[in-house]
Structure 1
């Protein structure tokens, strides 16, 4: 799990990306395709055609990092190319990386109703 700094912005590149792309190709895609500056400290996430692999590009003040995650089962939930670039929160990114639908996460438990207190008198 990537520990994202507080206030970081996370951008999903809608559609599919060629997962043979390396750091420099993805930096160029951020600048030209997404119209963003990759050196502002934001996270940029890309998904491959089969949907089981994502790459995350992160440029901090020291350099550029490229992370990859592959799901052994299932696929990452992803916006279409028509949606363009989608901004999500760091919490939604955590859901996405765990293979959970980040658009509508569901609780695995239900709260129980508290008993009603009746006054005696």
Structure 2
């Protein structure tokens, strides 16, 4: 089970990801390209090139969760375009706003 609290570490990948890869592909992306450890309990969030879908990867201690959300219309708003590390951190409240497709979620 995934528990999102104010203390949950959430990292957002700035560059779009290839959504054809599965658990191992997303874990390898975090480990090899973004230099992050995918099994540390952090929730890792990706978008596709068109920003119409999100995927979130999390390790809960016994296995990986891979969650997807596709908007029925529109795009995820205000996705960060540049960051020196390729990732940016989010608060759980920001993630909730992002998942609803709201703009301005970064200012929360």
TM-score w.r.t. the length of structure 2 is 0.88
Cα-Cα RMSD: 1.5
SS of equivalent residue, structure 1 residue 32: helix
User: Quick one: structure 1 residues 6 and 61, their matched pair in 2 at CA, closer, same or farther if it must change by over 3 Å?
Assistant: farther
Larger Rg: 1
The CA deviation at 1:76 is: 1.0
TM-score w.r.t. the length of structure 1 is 0.79
SS of equivalent residue, structure 2 residue 76: coil
Deviating beyond 2 angstroms after TM superposition, the runs of 4 or more aligned structure 1 residues are none
Aligned length: 103
Instruction: Extract unaligned runs of 5+ from structure 2.
Output: none
2:93 match: 91
Contact 2:6 2:91 in 1 (8 A): no
SS of equivalent residue, structure 2 residue 102: coil
2:80 match: 79
- Work out which structure has the larger RCO, using CA pairs closer than 8 Å and 6 or more positions apart in sequence: 2
**1-structure distance, mates of 2:20, 2:11:** 20
Residues 1-121 of structure 1: pairs in structure 2 closer than 5 A? 3-5=3-5, 7-77=7-77, 78-80=79-81, 82-83=82-83, 84-101=86-103, 102-104=105-107
1:108 match: none
